[in-house]
Amino acid sequence: MEFSPLNRLPQDTLHQIFSHLTLREIIVSKCVCKCLNSTLSSQAFLHLISTLQPPLSLLALRPSHRTHSHSHNNQSPHCALHVFDTVLNYWFRFPLSFLPFRSHYPITSSHGLLYLWAEGPTSAGPIPAISPPPPPPPPPSNNSKTLIVCNPLTRQFKLLPQLGSAWCKHGSVLVGSPNQVLVLTELAAIYFSGSTTSNNWLKFSSNLPSKPRSPILISDTILALCDVGSPWRSQWKLFRSTVKDLQFSQQWTRLEKHEWGDIFDILKRPRLLAGRNDKVLMIGGLKSSYSLHSTCSTILILRLDLDSLEWEEAGRMPPEMFRYFQDSSKFKVFGGGSKVCFSGKRVGRLALWEENECGKGEWRWISGVPGNSDGLYRGFVFEAQLNAVP
């Protein structure tokens, strides 16, 4: 490519040519050579196409806990975010080497921005401020944790105010609209909004009845599953609150209707995901009976309309696919929107449920999952876009 006739064209001409590509095609083109990667990463080109390209929905993987621990001990960062394009059926990477930290761990995303836990700068020098208007918080010390928000496509990033390591270990990070972050635990929650003049976390009590399971944030509504049963038998219930209610120390409310019946009792180890159009997805193994150690006959996806508070079945894993998870002692669920992904020990690939534009769910396998893991992959949906600014 270094000797290609394309190199003889002016940069403005190249920008005009490649501006007619879709975001998916631009990302693939950047992998061709260093010259195209540099051309398609320039600020002039990004500015030209930033308002023309719709978001690209991708499945992103978190590093395994074992790999994360190994990198922490050896001070080597995760240098890329592995993502899967469900349209092209192709794995590719977004480099993260532009982040000047000894260790960083991707956890979630929202509105085209990626959120990561970071520990320790790579050098004693100051961390550059990408967005100068608000004064940047101090760089994290060797023993502290901080949240980074970045756009891997434009290589822009910003540090959120510093946090203690306990929030990283025990808190669930929920992100909604840009620059609004909530870290939730059983007893407390902290909230940060980039739209306020204060550059600090707001802390308030959460007072949940138990450790929240798979909490989600939909608009301003926080939902979480909590176990209100006994030490011998779990009993899951759905709780709801808002950021405003938590700030004014108001309690969580239990969401329930008589018409729901035993909906929480038929699922084994249920999880929540944020669905399309502000719907809630609840996923779990469908129990064969109500006995304590009941086996599961399949994996069920239920969908809740928050306006009508009515449940419906969205998907049921096919028997030939569930057979692989039935032999697995444990499985994980991740995704959101129109995509729900499943991983399991010794399965060796991911199972994907994807809802099409007509509202019909389709099941298929995803192979070639990168990285060394025990098979229990975790991840999230990343809506890649070029005009998202940290």
Residues with Cβ within 8 Å of 377's Cβ and at least 6 positions away in sequence, in order, are 61, 62, 64, 332, 334, 341, 343, 350, 369
Asked if residues 90 and 109 have their Cβ atoms less than 8 Å apart, the reply is: no
Residue 222, domain extent: 56-63+78-120+143-384
- Judged against a pLDDT cut of 60, whether residue 71 lies above it is answered with no
C-alpha triplet 367, 27, 273: angle, nearest 5°: 55
- Token code pair at residue 22: 């879709």
The pLDDT of residue 127: 52
Q: Does residue 259 share a domain with residue 155?
A: yes
- Token code pair at residue 189: 């929650």
**Average pLDDT for residues 205-231, to the nearest whole number?**
91
The pLDDT of residue 3: 61
Q: Is residue 130 part of a domain?
A: no
The pLDDT of residue 129: 42
Q: Does residue 228 share a domain with residue 375?
A: yes
Q: How many helices (H) and strands (E) does the chain have?
A: 8, 24
pTM across the whole model:
0.85
Q: Is residue 236 part of a domain?
A: yes
The pLDDT of residue 77: 45
**Average pLDDT for residues 28-56, to the nearest whole number?**
80
- Judged against a pLDDT cut of 50, whether residue 259 lies above it is answered with yes
- Judged against a pLDDT cut of 80, whether residue 137 lies above it is answered with no
Q: Does residue 340 share a domain with residue 202?
A: yes
Band (78; pLDDT cuts 50, 70, 90): low
The pLDDT of residue 213: 93
Q: Does residue 349 share a domain with residue 230?
A: yes
Q: Does residue 298 share a domain with residue 209?
A: yes
Band (381; pLDDT cuts 50, 70, 90): very high
Count of residues in the chain:
390
Residue 162 DSSP class: P
Distance CA 361, CA 353 (A): 6
Q: Which residue has the tokens 């010794």?
A: 346
The pLDDT of residue 75: 44
Kindly report the CATH number assigned to the domain that includes residue 156: 2.120.10.80
CB atoms within 10 A of CB 161: 15
Q: Is residue 93 part of a domain?
A: yes
Q: Does residue 45 share a domain with residue 154?
A: no
% of the chain residues with pLDDT over 90: 42
Distance CA 340, CA 272 (A): 11
- Give CA separation, 90 vs 23, 73, 201, 320, in Å: 15, 31, 39, 24
The pLDDT of residue 328: 67
- Token code pair at residue 366: 């995803």
The pLDDT of residue 139: 52
- Token code pair at residue 83: 């993502």
Q: Which is it for strands 56-61 and 379-384: parallel, antiparallel or unpaired?
A: antiparallel
For residue range 301-311, what is the model confidence (pLDDT) as tens digits?
999 999 999 99
The pLDDT of residue 329: 65
The pLDDT of residue 76: 43
The pLDDT of residue 283: 96
Residues with Cβ within 8 Å of 17's Cβ and at least 6 positions away in sequence, in order, are 9
For residue range 147-205, what is the model confidence (pLDDT) as tens digits?
999 999 888 999 998 888 888 888 999 998 777 899 999 888 999 987 766 778 988 88
More confident residue, 67 or 320: 320
More confident residue, 8 or 21: 21
- Token code pair at residue 211: 């450790």
Distance CA 4, CA 34 (A): 12
Q: Does residue 247 share a domain with residue 360?
A: yes
